Amino acid sequence: MLLLFRDQVTQEERDLVQAHVRRITGTPAPHLVEIEGRYVLPLETNKIDREANLFLTSLEAVERILPIKTSYKLVSRLFKETTSTVIVGDGIQSRAVAFGGNQPPRIIAGPCAVESREQLFTIALAMKEAGADILRGGAFKPRTSPYQFQGLGVEGLALLAEARKVSGLPVVTEVMEPDMVETVAQYVDMLQIGARNMQNYPLLQACGRQKLPVMLKRSMSATIEEWLLAAEYIVAAGNPGVVLCERGIRSYDPHTRNVLDLTSVPLLHELTHLPVIVDPSHATGKCSLVPTMARASLAAGAQGVMVETHCNPSEAFCDGKQAISSQDVRDLVRYSHAIAELSYEEGRNTTYEHSAVRPHFIVR
Ligand code: PEP
Ligand code: MN
């Protein structure tokens, strides 16, 4: 259930409703969330009987109570019908890039890890030249082995902020610990929560307390519901700027690093209003497969794609095998423009609304 406050509700009125909810449920009232200027209070359905529902609805400050049956509520399409727009970059230190809504698909590209000033700046300028929208790069790397390169840490964050200045592209990087969220947020435009941390609830909440948008990657073994509930944690903590990123799920065939579950894209458009993007690099683990699966992602309705690229893949500190070339990124940008144009020609105002998504095939 979601309790929707009236427009222009005062602080005292909100406090009074929360006090009533505390009394009725016998538990602390959940955090009040502001979404697009409206205050919303998520309620546990089993704690609000018919009588309590009627009482709360009768309060002056309450517009209505939405009976949302799914476990995730604030991120549900049942709550908000129109696709959300998430803006990355402040338009001053870098350009501002919007995901979702009726925006064209966006391309995020960059190295797996920030390795050095020279490496990052070379790639950043090549990505700007290729027409990518956002620069990625890991400063803190969650590596499977403790002996693998763990990232440059804060030094890497400072290089990302410099690369933003040089290229004008907003930057996204992964944050792994709740205590590091504030530090990372000072350097970048978007926080990334990696697959391994999708269910790190203190981390989700810490990112939820920030103003910066968050890219939430799917855990390698998460169900769609677990993933949406992880997103709900961030939104319920006060941050509505979440972009979901499908990055493949674990399976049995070692030919590819993961299995790219592209069905999740149109499925998520049915279930949630949050923008959805795809990372075909970690999904496939093979540079030869990335461009095709990137195009497939966009054809399936992804509102963006994140790919890894490197100026010298054979020397990369990590994930060199899945790094595509600058030319590949340029081609992908061209394809994304073509797919946006096709949607525009069809006269759709919400480019990737789930009901309207049809496959588009373009031969390059
Ligand atoms: C990454 O994008 O740098 C990364 C580590 O990916 P994932 O969390 O999906 O494995
Ligand atoms: Mn990587």
Ordered DSSP codes for 39-81: EEEE--GGG--HHHHHHHHHSTTEEEEE---SS--TTBTTT--
Pocket of ligand 1 (CB under 6 A): 112, 138, 142, 174, 194-196, 217, 247, 279, 282
pLDDT on residue 47? 85
pLDDT tens, residue order, the chain (364 aa):
999 999 999 999 999 999 999 999 988 877 899 988 889 999 988 889 999 999 999 999 999 999 998 999 999 999 998 999 999 999 999 999 999 988 999 999 999 999 999 999 999 999 999 999 999 999 999 999 999 999 999 999 999 999 999 999 999 999 999 999 999 999 999 999 999 999 999 999 999 999 999 999 999 999 999 999 999 999 999 999 999 999 999 999 999 999 999 999 999 999 999 999 999 999 999 999 999 999 999 999 999 999 999 999 999 999 999 999 999 999 999 999 999 888 766 554 343 344 333 322 222 2
Per-residue confidence (pLDDT) for residue 350, from 0 to 100: 41
Please tell me the distance from the alpha carbon of residue 304 to that of residue 324, in angstroms, as a whole number: 17
Tell me the whole-structure pTM to 2 decimals. 0.93
- Nearest ligand to the C-alpha atom of residue 279: 1
Task: For residue 68, give every residue at least 6 positions away whose Cβ sits within 8 Å of its Cβ, in sequence order, or none.
Answer: 1, 2, 76, 78, 79
What ligand has the least distance to the C-alpha of 283?
A: 1
Would you say 41 and 65 are in contact if contact means Cβ atoms under 8 Å apart? Answer: no
Dihedral angle computed from the Cα positions of residues 223, 224, 230 and 235, in that order, rounded to the nearest 10 degrees: -170
Q: Do you know the residue count of the chain? A: 364
Residue 15 corresponds to which tokens in the numbers above?
């406090």
3-state secondary structure of 13: helix
Residue owning the nearest CA to atom 9 of ligand 1: 195
* Separation of CA 11 and ligand 1 centre (Å): 41
Nearest alpha carbon, ligand 1 atom 3? 112
**247 exposure class (CB count in 10 Å sphere: 0-12, 13-18, 19+):** buried
Confidence (pLDDT) at 342: 85
Cα of 61 vs centre of ligand 1, distance in Å, is 44
Q: How far is CA 325 from the centre of its chain?
A: 24
User: What whole-number distance in Å separates Cα of residue 212 and Cα of residue 229?
Assistant: 19
Q: What is the atom index within ligand 1 of the atom nearest the CA of 195? A: 8
Which DSSP symbol is given to 263? T
Query: What is the distance between the alpha carbons of residues 295 and 68, in angstroms, rounded to a whole number?
Result: 35
Query: Measured in angstroms, how far is the CA atom of residue 67 from the centroid of ligand 2?
Result: 41
CA 47 to chain centre: 31
From residue 221, how far is each of 6, 195, 249, 261, 357 by CA, in Å?
A: 40, 9, 6, 11, 27
Q: In this structure, what token pair is assigned to residue 328?
A: 């590949």
CA of 192 to the centre of ligand 1 (A): 9
How far apart are the CA of 3 and the centre of ligand 1, in A?
A: 36
- Rounded Cα distance, 196 and 142, in Å: 8
Please give the number of the atom of ligand 1 that sits closest to the Cα of 112.
3
Residue nearest to atom 10 of ligand 1 (CA): 195
117: exposed, middle or buried (Cβ count in 10 Å: 0-12, 13-18, 19+): middle
- Ligand closest to CA 249: 1
